[in-house]
Amino acid sequence: MGADREVPSEAGTDVDTGTDVDTAAEADAAHQALVRDIVAQGGLTDPAWRAAFEQVPRHLFVPYYYVHGSRGYERLWGEDPDPVRRRRWLRGVYGDEPLATRMRDGELISSSSQPSLMALMLDALDVRDGHTVLEIGTGPGYNAALLSHRLGAPAVTSVDLDPEITDAARSHLAAAGYRPTVVTGDGARGSPQQAPYDRIIATCTLPSVPPAWPEQSSPGARILAPVATGLVSLEVRATAHGPRAEGHFLHTPAYFVPLRGASPLSGPVARSGGVGRRAIGNELFRFLLTLTAGSLDPHEALSLWEREERPQRERYGITVADGRQWAWLDDPEGPYTWPLAG
C-alpha cells in the first residue's frame, strides 16, 4: 500500500557548474546509485521497501549536515555558493553513511541514520498493509517519510523531544509530499493519543525499553529498538498481568544518538575494570559490557563470555514483563540473566 503523496517541485543550482538550472537529474542519479549499492549489499529484498527508497529523496531531509575536519565540525549545505562544497554536500547525502544533522554546543543531538542500516531495520520491522507505526526519534524526518510511503502517512506517528527538530522534520516531510503525525514530546512516553500501535521503531540508543511502549502496543505488535550497541526485536503479547515483550537481538551492530532524557549508557572502556586490551578490543565483548552495565562486574562478564565461547548477538535477548525487564543469554528463564539498568 502506497501513500497519497503530494508531488513536490525540485529545482535549484547545479552542483557542478553553479548555474541556475534544474538539479533533479543529478540528484536522482546519485539517489538511484545509493539504492543500487544497498541492494548489492543484500538489502531491500522487499519490493515495497525498495520502491520507498527509490522514490523518497534523501536530500530533501538533509539540506545541511556537519562533517568533522581538522578544525572541528564544518557545515555542508545544498545552497552553498561554492560549487565544490555543494558537490561534497550531494555526495555525502547519497553516500551510505550517517549524517550529523544538528549540533548544539559542540554535541551531536540529531542525525540521519546510515541508509543501509535503515533498510535493514525497516525490513526487520515486518510491517503489513494496515499497520500503524510509532517512530521514536524523528530526526530530519527521512525514516518517517519512508514509513509514510510504505503505509500511508495517516498510519505513521513520529516523536522527538526537541521542537526545533520536529518543526524542521515537518517542513522536510511536507516538501517531500508526506504529512504523518509528528509529535514534540518525550519518546520514552510514546504517544498515547494515537495508540495502540502495531509496530514501534526507535532510532536512538536506549539503556532499557520504556514500559510505555509495550503498554501502547497491540497484541502481536513488534518493537524494534537499539539497546546497548545492538538491535533488539521484541514481540508483544497480552497476559493476565499486562503486556509481555520478549525477543532476541539481531546480528548487526548499531550505534545511534542516545535517547535524550534517558539514563546515559556506561561506556564499555570506562567500566572495563582492567579485564585486558584483547577482550576490550573485541566488539562483541564491548556489546556485552554495555548490555550488563550496572549488573555484572566486568570480570564476571568476561568469564561468562569466554565460558560461552564468545556468543554472537543473536543469542542475547530482552524480556519486559510484570513491571521489570531483564537481558539474558539463550533463555529468558535460564542461568544467565541480569536486570537492565535505566
User: Per-residue confidence of the chain (342 residues) as pLDDT tens digits?
Assistant: 555 565 444 334 443 333 333 467 788 899 999 999 999 999 999 999 999 999 999 999 999 999 987 777 899 999 999 988 988 999 999 999 999 999 988 888 999 999 999 999 999 999 999 999 999 999 999 999 999 999 999 999 999 999 999 999 999 999 999 999 999 999 999 999 999 999 999 999 998 999 999 999 999 999 999 999 999 999 999 999 999 999 999 999 998 888 765 554 545 544 555 565 656 778 899 999 989 987 888 889 999 999 999 999 999 999 999 999 999 999 999 999 999 876
Bridge partners (DSSP) listed for residue 104: 107
Per-residue model confidence (pLDDT) at position 21: 33
H-helix segments, the chain:
24-40, 47-55, 83-93, 115-125, 142-151, 163-176, 212-215, 277-280, 283-291, 298-307
Q: Tell whether 318 is covered by a domain.
A: yes
Q: Which domain holds residue 287?
A: 266-339
Per-residue model confidence (pLDDT) at position 13: 42
Q: What SS3 class is residue 106?
A: coil
* Residue 98: count of CB within 10 angstroms of its CB: 18
Q: Tell whether 329 is covered by a domain.
A: yes
Bridge partners (DSSP) listed for residue 202: 136
Q: Which residues are catalytic?
A: 110
Nearest Cα to 284, choosing from 308, 320, 319? 308
Classify residue 208 by burial, with Cβ atoms within 10 Å: 0-12, 13-18, 19+. Answer: buried
Q: Tell whether 194 is covered by a domain.
A: no
In one-letter notation, the amino acid at residue 221 is A
Per-residue model confidence (pLDDT) at position 83: 87
Go through 245-279 and write b for each residue having 16 or more CB atoms within 10 A of its CB, e for each that does not: bbbbbbeebbebbbbeebeebbebeebbeebeeeb
Sign of the CA dihedral running 169, 173, 174, 178: negative
Q: How far apart are CA 231 and CA 200, in angstroms?
A: 13
Q: How far apart are CA 12 and CA 8, in angstroms?
A: 13
Q: Tell whether 128 is covered by a domain.
A: no
Q: Tell whether 53 is covered by a domain.
A: no
Q: Tell whether 25 is covered by a domain.
A: no
Per-residue model confidence (pLDDT) at position 17: 33
Q: Tell whether 57 is covered by a domain.
A: no
The cell numbers describing 109, all together, are: 543531538
Which residues are within 8 A (CB) of 194 and not within 5 positions of it... i.e. 6 or more apart? 132, 134, 157, 181
Write down the pTM of the prediction: 0.89
Question: How many domains does the structure of the chain reveal?
Answer: 1
Q: How far apart are CA 67 and CA 48, in angstroms?
A: 32
Q: Tell whether 294 is covered by a domain.
A: yes
Sheet arrangement for strand 72-77:
72-77, 64-69, 99-104, 107-112
Q: What SS3 class is residue 65?
A: strand
Q: What SS3 class is residue 202?
A: strand
